[in-house]
Amino acid sequence: MLCWVVKPLIKMAKLRKLVTYTDYRWEETEELTPEQLKKWKSGDEDLQEEVLDEVEFDLSHDKCLEDSEHPELIED
C-alpha cells in the first residue's frame, strides 16, 4: 500500500527597505597667498576663477546622514 505524505508549501519571505545616504563634505584649501586673497576679495568672477584654478581642495571633514523607510514584506 502506498502512503502519500502531503507537506504544506512553505513560502519564503524577506523584508526590504530603502535607505538613503547623504554625505556632506567640507573641503578646504591651503592658506591663500596675499595675491590670491586680493583677487578673491575683489568680487570679480574672472579673478576668483583664476584663484580656483590655482588652488586644490582637500577633505577637511565629512558627515554621513542616513534615512530609511519602514521595511516592506516581500513574499515569494
- Which tens digits make up the pLDDT trace of 3-53? 676 666 777 899 999 999 999 999 999 999 999 999 999 999 999 999 999
Closest CA to 54 of 40, 74, 36, 27: 36
Q: Is the pTM of this model over 0.75?
A: no
Q: What is the pLDDT of residue 76?
A: 75
| The three cell numbers locating residue 32 | 591663500
CA atoms within 13 A on the CB side of 61: 1
Do 15 and 62 contact (CB within 8 A), yes or no?
Answer: no
- Which tens digits make up the pLDDT trace of 17-31? 999 999 999 999 999
Q: What is the pLDDT of residue 9?
A: 73
